[in-house]
Amino acid sequence: MPTITHENVDELNAIVTIELSQDDYLPKVNSKLKEYRQKAQIKGFRPGKVPMGMIKRKFGTTVLVEEVNEAIGENLNQYFKDNNLRVLGQPLAIEDKNLKLSIHKPSDYTFKFELGLAPEFEIKGLSTDNQLPFYDLSVSEEELEAEIDNVRKKYSKGFQEGINDVQEDDMLAISLEELNENGDIKEGGVVKEETFLALRDIANEELKDNLLSATLSDSFDIDVFTIEDKDETYIRKHVLGIEEDQEINKMFRLTIKEIKRVDKAELNEEFFKQLFPNEEIDSEEAFREKVKSEIYKGYKQSSLNHFSNLVFDFLLEENKLDLPVEFLKKWLKETNEGITDEFFEGKEFEAFIKNTNWSLLRDKLAEKYKVEVNYQDVEDATRGEILRYFNYQIPPYGEMMDNMLQKILSDRKEVNRRFEAIMDERILEKTSEDMGKEMKDVSREEFEEILKDYQASKNPAPVEENTETEVEA
């Protein structure tokens, strides 16, 4: 067994020494060289008959270096675990110019490494005496009506017949005919017999007002490039269906061919059961209360999410840990090409230090609250994310879902990112329960402004990965 010792330079830095005897690595080297001999195909020799001296000359030193590195890595990692040493970054080898590894002169070796150590600390600030604002959102009658209107449209079974007037939420089937300079229909001009236009997409306010006071078959002369809030290329391709370089006049005659209005679901027990199959709702009043409670539930979750963010900020501010900053700078420079001294003066390095600080806090909080995350949690969360992306229109299980999960989760970095996100969410949920809440009643509009101001104050910067890793010697 190798002999390993470490000596603390100070509370955050140490030197670890590992002494390898030939018995720690040479048997594995010889075993691997025998495998090479059996498989080697060298001209003039049958497989398995290549002289061992030739195998050693060709592969020996490379194999020796690999086995020495593996022995260092395995034994240092075990030493750190046995001695409860929390190492940040990776051990950095201290150069020894007299050290030379050669298969022709195997020897006992001594290696030294610099270590950056995680600080010892107790979490500060986690108390109900420390109150942070918690926003309680009320649901207005306007918001309730808008949500009920939305779900009635969502569960519509088609469009109403015989609509002649135009309303804000209507979809119009229109024709477009190119005009000449005199304002008449241009002979041989561009004609789009039918295209669809949602009033909400109309950028031209004058046209929108005209349409809202129009009836079926009415016509208006318009600048076709102002019909939607899109660029000219989009209008040409998707509205008119013409080539990008085709010459046309911008003035067109728009004629309303059909007014399509969603036939909203009726407010009856069948509809209530469709929306809430596990609830006994037998009146419009009870239905409205249920919808209102669901809206409030969503608002409450948004408030909790924001409160978690405030808890995160507060704990980081209260627990600014001492870190081996100079060691981390040296480690970053040695393991990332292109990093210069200017990097350490910028926002990215600040974010790296902040993330390192949080990773240490997170581990301590996870231990305190006994929070765990496993691979199944990551897979389940990713499955839910995929279902939301497709608006729950795909099956949650089966070949299609399995293929998407495999594609996403085959990336180790992506798995780690999702693992940490779930861990953060669960930890902040627990810590939020132990923090004081200063309740504040606000409207949805006020809360949106609070969130907007909060995001503007963050000025986010890219964050490096968690730095607490295993040794890769």
pLDDT tens for 386-427 read 988 887 778 889 899 999 999 999 999 999 999 999 999 999
Q: In the prediction, which pLDDT does 303 show?
A: 93
pLDDT tops 80 at residue 374: yes
Inform me whether the pLDDT recorded for 469 exceeds 70.
no
Strands (E), 248-386: 251-260
Q: Is the pLDDT of residue 464 over 70?
A: no
Second CATH level (architecture) for the domain 3-117: 2-Layer Sandwich (3.30)
Predicted confidence at residue 338, as pLDDT, reads 84
- 153: pLDDT confidence band, cut at 50, 70 and 90? confident
State the average pLDDT over residues 99-127. 91
Q: Tell me what the pLDDT averaged over the chain comes to.
A: 88
Tens digits of per-residue pLDDT, 226-238? 888 888 999 999 8
- pLDDT above 90: residue 17: yes
* pLDDT-based confidence at residue 175 (cuts at 50, 70, 90): very high
| Residue scoring higher pLDDT (194 or 473) | 194
Q: How far apart are CA 264 and CA 152, in angstroms?
A: 5
Asked whether the CA dihedral 381, 383, 388, 389 is positive or negative, the reply is positive
> Which residue did the predictor score with more confidence, 273 or 41?
273
Residue the block writes with tokens 């100070």: 10
Q: How far apart are the first and last CA of the chain?
A: 17
Range list of H helices, 98-172: 141-154
Of residues 38 and 234, more confidently modeled: 234
Residue 25: in which H helix or E strand, if any?
Answer: helix 22-39
Query: Which tens digits make up the pLDDT trace of 199-212?
Result: 888 878 888 899 99
Give percent above pLDDT 90 in the chain: 59
Domain boundaries, the chain: 3-117, 131-141+279-458, 159-260
Token pair belonging to 119: 């600080």
Q: Is the pLDDT of residue 239 over 60?
A: yes
Is the pLDDT at 461 greater than 50? The verdict is no
pTM listed for this prediction: 0.67
The per-residue pLDDT for 454 is: 92
Find tokens 């039918």 and name the residue: 194
Say yes or no to pLDDT of 460 above 60.
Answer: no
pLDDT, average across residues 436-462: 85
**Which pLDDT score, from 0 to 100, does residue 34 have?**
86
Q: In which band, very low, low, confident or very high, does the pLDDT at 187 lie, cut at 50, 70 and 90?
A: very high
Taking only the tens place, the pLDDT of each residue in 334-363 is 988 888 889 999 889 999 999 999 999 999
Residue 8 identity: N
Q: Does domain 131-141+279-458 have CATH number 1.10.3120?
A: yes
- Which backbone phi and psi does 77 adopt, to 5 degrees? -60, -45
Pick the CATH number of 159-260 from 3.30.70, 2.60.40, 3.10.50, 3.30.1370: 3.10.50
pLDDT (0 to 100) of residue 459: 61
Q: Is the predicted pLDDT of residue 44 greater than 90, yes or no?
A: no
